[in-house]
Structure 1
Amino acid sequence: MFRTIDSDLIGVPGMFGEGVSNWRGVSRLLRTPWYHLTLSVEHQGRHSECAVMIDDTRQLQEILVSQGSDLGITEIMAVTPSWMNKTGGWQMERLTRLSVGEDRIGSEVCVLEVGEGEVYHTSHQPDFQIEALANVRPVFLSSMIRSA
């Protein structure tokens, strides 16, 4: 999850629309993956691009389903912590596939396929095997992306 600090608030809440606030920065407490989406938005005949940062697969599904003539996802990047990507730091890579399944104790595990075919998962079990997941269901496939 992302969190905000009141002193990072810019302007007055709602000045750019009901329920909308602008922030100089956000922070994260957990070292878990999140997603950076680039959206193509049409409003009153004008096209613009915006970025959305989310850390929830259900919210990602909602945005994927809500695509239409006025809203389309043009890119999804997965941002993964070092324990997950096995490097010295955070990495941002193009997401090509995201699936969710249940491990042997019934906990939800996300499986991310990125960039050049690397596969990451959110399990912390030392002997975890992706093939052992039950009830695996796709959340995202690269074919769900609009052509830019």
Structure 2
Amino acid sequence: MTAIAEIRELVARFTGAFGAGDMETLRAVFSRDETLLFYGTQVNLHIVGWPGLERAFAHQFAAMQDLRVSVDPDSLVITVLAEGRAACVGTPRLRFQARMGERPFDLPRIRMTAVAERRGEGWVFVQMHWSLTDQEVVIAQEGEAAGEGAG
């Protein structure tokens, strides 16, 4: 399998695991060291290190129902770097759908960029950024209220 095909598979594993609330697979697709970065548009999603990201995922899984996450495969851009040891990944069409109580929502055009590194025989994300414009914070993290930090 080529590096690009492996990265496509990494993205598919991530979206499938996120949509299913599968923390075991999420642990496998992200670096679990202190250098992992995950940034969203809102300030409550500026996370450094796996423990913080794991808490954020668990918080979202507890608050949402019918979660579905997908990427338009035709929009996925992958550039392999460092002689096949790293890759940049991006799409303007990550889709995030869920329901919170009676409130459904659908965010069809989240911009997602990421850096993946080959670690041993596989790939993991070491950095990921999601951005969207003019959207409220859907899930407030601990100590914050929904609607704070939108930007």
- Is TM more than 0.5 here? no
Normalised by the size of structure 2, how large is the TM-score? 0.26
Normalised by the size of structure 1, how large is the TM-score? 0.26
- Structure with more of its chain in strand, by fraction: 1
- Structure with more of its chain in helix, by fraction: 2
